[in-house]
Chains A and B, each alone.
Chain A
Amino acid sequence: MIELARRAVECAVAASCSDAEAYASEDAGREVRAHGGEVESLTAATRRGVGVRAWVGRRVGYAYGTDLSEAGIRALAARVAEAARIADEDEFAAPPGLPVRLPADMGGTSATEPVAALELSDPTIGEWPVERVADLALAIERATLEADPRVAGVEQAVYADSAERIAIVSSTGIEAEYERTSCHGYTQALAEGEGARETGLGFGLGRGPAALDPGEIGREAAARAAAMIGAGKPASRNCPVVLDATVAASFVALVGRALGADAVQRGRSPFIGLAGETVADEALVIHDDGLDPEGSASSPVDGEGTPRRRLALVEGGTLRTFLYDTYTGRRAGTASTASAGRGGYRSQPSVAASNLVVATGRLDLEGLLAEAGDGVLVTDVAGLHSGVNPVTGVFSVGASGLAIRGGEAGEPLREFTIASDLVSMLRAVRAAGSTPRWVPFGGSVRTPPLLIGEMTVAGS
């Protein structure tokens, strides 16, 4: 991979770009879908490609391709040079240079040497033949059906894994290469009762298949679906709301997106002007941690080769920093926070959180419900991509969950919305729970359930 990335950089420079950076990746992955006690589909895939970002003076362009022959790389270099020429000049557009200040715990290595030693690969993936991972998908489906008599079916049970190798090289001297594996399993249970059908999702993730517990995944899906049987609508009102870990994670991911410096610099974040200000209750502490060994977004370097780190975003109620890549850092006169994200070789780097980690509190879920008194426990949300205005942070999203009565979980509720705005919600956090979990929805987030003092619930 690193040779390919080097060659792509050389060709772009030869095509009269002043600087270039290449991101090359290859991955092998499998996916098994089970349904009705049989394997519905079995996919084996290999992917290889390279993306090149290149500068012509203060203009920058991007091109990617899957033709990795010498002719293909040359054609790609010509395309990226052309793309850069179409762009307008931008005084802050420049290639990432060598990081000058590295965190002390990395011993001041330069990016041309190996950075943090992170174990992100589980070699056992390769030792599990396809028959064995197919059995795992089937076991997830079986566990879902057996977990509760009200489960009438399973929409699907899925196992998927991937092993990837990524190399980043720039004409300014950056060279990084790493490997990473990941796998996940999930299932969607269908429960029936009181003349209606309910669905529930169960999931697990890890670096290798041994990290997945099919029984646990199945039981979660079954419990979520069965819990919703007989659900009614809550009365419309303002009240305390407890977000379970999966729902809290979705909102934390939205907060992470709004803290990207690109959104802030372009006037499109609800957090503009709030750096150093009180934005949350002290109960809420959020870190961006690109080095957590368990995090699915962990990597030794970010999408443009800057060594990853652990960064306080919200602490002591204060917004400590925005997330910067090299471009937004240069524009703000500050260093990159190693927050250049990559959606693969087909997308140019852009500011993104790595793993968002929410600090745990003292109360378990029952304790949070007791603290809430009367309100709503939200266990699922829908419509996040259309119900949240990223510029203003105002949101109204579909929700389902359980009533909270007298400090305990009560009857199931569906077909209602919860509404607020992101900053008001952070300020209204009253407590973080004691039981965190990794959630992969909309980003990589580790969070416990959260108690929000007040939100608007709209139902009947």
Chain B
Amino acid sequence: MSELIESEVAERVLRRALAGGGEFAEVFCERAAGLTLAIDESRIESVQSGASAGAGVRVLSGGTTYFAHVDGLDPGDLERAAAEAAAALHARSAEPRPLEALAVAPQPIELRPAEVPAERKAELLRELDARGRAAGPEVSELMASYAEVRREVAIANSDGLLTGDDRTRVRIGAQAVARRGGEVQTGSETLGGHRGFELLEDDPAAIAEVAAGKALTLLEAGPAPAGSMPVVIGGGFGGVLFHEMTGHGLEADHVQKGASVYAGKLGAQVAQPLLTAYDDGCMPGEWGSDSVDDEGTPTRKTMVIEGGVLASFLYDRLTAGHDGVASTGNGRRESFRHLPVPRMTNTYIAPGDAEPEAMIAEVEKGFYAASFAGGQVDPATGDFVFGVSEGYLIEGGRVTRPCRGATLIGNCLEALLAIDAVGRDFEMKTGVCGKAGQKVPVGTGQGHVRVRAMTVGGTEV
């Protein structure tokens, strides 16, 4: 199945993990290799090559998870991890089921990044640098980065599952700074995917131009308004709104601890009927996709909101068992050093039927959040906040002057219900999501979306 762990070794490790008892044991093996480099001040720098290998073993017993991880993938390393995980267990040993290999096709990779000469990657960054700087004489700085990583994983558990995945991700980013007199503004853009170097075939340097364009536009910015008003959210990374506002509250661990505002709301109308949303871990080539999750469950497309009705939570094995349902393939972890927890993959609001221009034309006085720097939510209270990286006033149904330093703030139950238009346009963007000290790649997506009323936190009272 996998060269990371042989079947006999896996069985021995699982048997060792259950030597002190337990209902379930699992070994997760991982080998990762990556390269990152950057250009700054038109100079290639911060070239970093990383390689790591290790394993995490967990044992579930009576509601407690016992977990240990080690660096290294030698059979001795794995048995050490198993012994460490089982150290606090002193019941009668349990017997793992014989392993049966589950063959899963990894996402296809056309051009392995490791096989592309490093000079080509440096050259790519020079192209980004030149394109960004060419956008205008007021572009004073341009930073760009390239990152590739290949993560091979193998998962074996005492229910008899033996499977694995081979994941390659590539991502580039550009950040521009523009200056005019004392005014300084920044703009950024990224491109990434669960893909090989082929991701960068089609004019990748365009992202530097987009980043520079944002910074230049913002040079005209005035202060952001402060107060409650209609807000139109841009497509693509605008989807981080749904990710933060609703997605985290659908992760079953929060729900089961009563730490989600969506607890007990399955089947309830949580949004207008015009809104349908998905979490889809198997979108081909997308940044948040994998073939199996980090517990070996094949990824899938889960409808989380159907016509405004809450349709499903997002589960890993443990939380699925608790609710008596099947895992939705959302058990993810940053690395072998972390326990899997329910996480989003690619989360998006499905396209609606509104024309973006018409959504804006209907707003007399409001705010257009074209792009976000990121956001944060407390799933228990539903309170969220988003930093707007590119925002504009809407006046008389038209997008007018850009605004600097705006934040959107609100409560997700109210804000989700207040979405009164979903655009027919659609775009996916890449993000890195943090939860419980673990970062995982996630995709966010949507078309333009309008929220009837939302608090904009600017400085113009």
Residues of A within 8 A of B (CB): 35, 38-49, 60-67, 75-76, 79-80, 82-84, 86-88, 90, 130-131, 152-153, 155-156, 188, 190, 196-199, 233, 236-238, 266-268, 346, 348, 382-383, 385-389, 391-392, 394-398, 400, 414-421, 456, 458-460
Q: What is the CB-to-nearest-CB distance from A206 to chain B, in angstroms, rounded to a whole number? A: 19
Instruction: Name the residue on B nearest A455 (C-beta).
Output: B459
Partner of B456, one of A75, A348, A458: A458
Measured as residues with beta carbon below 8 angstroms from the partner, the interface class of chain B is 35 or more
User: Please, what's the 1-or-0 string for B424-457, where 1 marks a CB less than 8 Å from any CB in chain A?
Assistant: 0000000000000000000000000000000111
Residues of chain B contacted by A346 (CB below 8 angstroms)? 50, 52
Residues of chain B contacted by A64 (CB below 8 angstroms)? 48-52
CA distance A156 to B386 in the complex (A): 25
Contact A419 B455 (CB under 8 A): no
Contact A63 B49 (CB under 8 A): yes
Partner of A86, one of B44, B88, B184: B44
Q: Would you list 5 pairs from A and B whose C-beta atoms are within 8 A, ordered by A residue?
A: A83-B47, A346-B52, A383-B376, A414-B381, A416-B455
Which of B7-15, B99-107, B161-169, B223-231 contacts the other chain? B223-231
Residues of chain A contacted by B43 (CB below 8 angstroms)? 87-88, 90
- Given contacts A86-B118, A415-B411, is CB(A76)–CB(B177) below 8 Å? no
- Given contacts A61-B49, A386-B372, is CB(A199)–CB(B381) below 8 Å? yes
Q: What is the CB-to-nearest-CB distance from A223 to chain B, in angstroms, rounded to a whole number? A: 16
Residues of B within 8 A of A (CB): 35, 37, 40-41, 43-54, 63-72, 84-85, 87-88, 118-119, 121-122, 140-141, 177, 184-186, 224, 226-228, 257-259, 261, 337, 339, 372-376, 378, 380-381, 383-387, 389, 404-407, 409-411, 455-459, 461
CA distance A18 to B108 in the complex (A): 41
CA distance A153 to B411 in the complex (A): 21
Partner of B70, one of A46, A188, A398: A46
Q: What is the CB-to-nearest-CB distance from A421 to chain B, in angstroms, rounded to a whole number? A: 8
Partner of A266, one of B41, B69, B372: B41
CA distance A392 to B404 in the complex (A): 10
With A47-B71, A387-B407 given, can you name 7 additional A-B contacts, CB distance below 8 Å?
A: A39-B64, A64-B49, A64-B52, A348-B46, A398-B383, A417-B457, A458-B457
Contact A415 B49 (CB under 8 A): no
Contact A44 B455 (CB under 8 A): no
Residues of chain A contacted by B381 (CB below 8 angstroms)? 196-199, 414
- Given contacts A266-B40, A383-B407, is CB(A456)–CB(B459) below 8 Å? yes
Residues of chain A contacted by B50 (CB below 8 angstroms)? 63-65, 346
Contact A65 B51 (CB under 8 A): yes
CA distance A318 to B406 in the complex (A): 30
Partner of B51, one of A48, A76, A389: A76
CA distance A386 to B189 in the complex (A): 14
- Given contacts A86-B119, A236-B226, A458-B227, is CB(A383)–CB(B380) below 8 Å? no
Residues of chain A contacted by B141 (CB below 8 angstroms)? 266-268
Partner of A458, one of B40, B46, B461: B461
Partner of A419, one of B54, B122, B459: B459
CA distance A42 to B64 in the complex (A): 7
Contact A153 B257 (CB under 8 A): yes
Residues of chain A contacted by B64 (CB below 8 angstroms)? 38-42
CA distance A63 to B34 in the complex (A): 10
With a 10 A CB-CB cut-off, give which of B47, B64, B72 has the most chain A CB atoms. B47
- Given contacts A267-B141, A395-B405, is CB(A153)–CB(B258) below 8 Å? yes
Contact A40 B67 (CB under 8 A): no
6 A-B pairs with least C-beta separation: A417-B457, A398-B385, A386-B387, A386-B374, A458-B226, A383-B385
CA distance A419 to B376 in the complex (A): 17
- Given contacts A76-B51, A79-B49, is CB(A456)–CB(B461) below 8 Å? yes
Partner of B48, one of A63, A197, A392: A63
Residues of chain A contacted by B258 (CB below 8 angstroms)? 152-153, 190, 197
CA distance A400 to B456 in the complex (A): 15
Partner of B85, one of A44, A268, A459: A44
Instruction: Name the residue on A nearest B411 (C-beta).
Output: A415
CA distance A236 to B229 in the complex (A): 13
Instruction: Name the residue on B nearest A396 (C-beta).
Output: B407
Residues of chain A contacted by B380 (CB below 8 angstroms)? 155, 188, 190, 197, 199
Residues of chain B contacted by A82 (CB below 8 angstroms)? 49, 118
Q: What is the CB-to-nearest-CB distance from B441 to chain A, in angstroms, rounded to a whole number? A: 17
Residues of chain A contacted by B389 (CB below 8 angstroms)? 386
Contact B457 A416 (CB under 8 A): yes
Contact B410 A415 (CB under 8 A): yes
CA distance A236 to B49 in the complex (A): 49
Residues of chain B contacted by A188 (CB below 8 angstroms)? 259, 380
Contact A394 B457 (CB under 8 A): no
Partner of B455, one of A45, A153, A395, A459: A459
Contact A45 B405 (CB under 8 A): no
With a 10 A CB-CB cut-off, give which of B67, B72, B455, B457 has the most chain A CB atoms. B457
Residues of chain B contacted by A40 (CB below 8 angstroms)? 63-65
Contact A79 B67 (CB under 8 A): no
Residues of chain B contacted by A237 (CB below 8 angstroms)? 461
Residues of chain A contacted by B71 (CB below 8 angstroms)? 46-49, 66
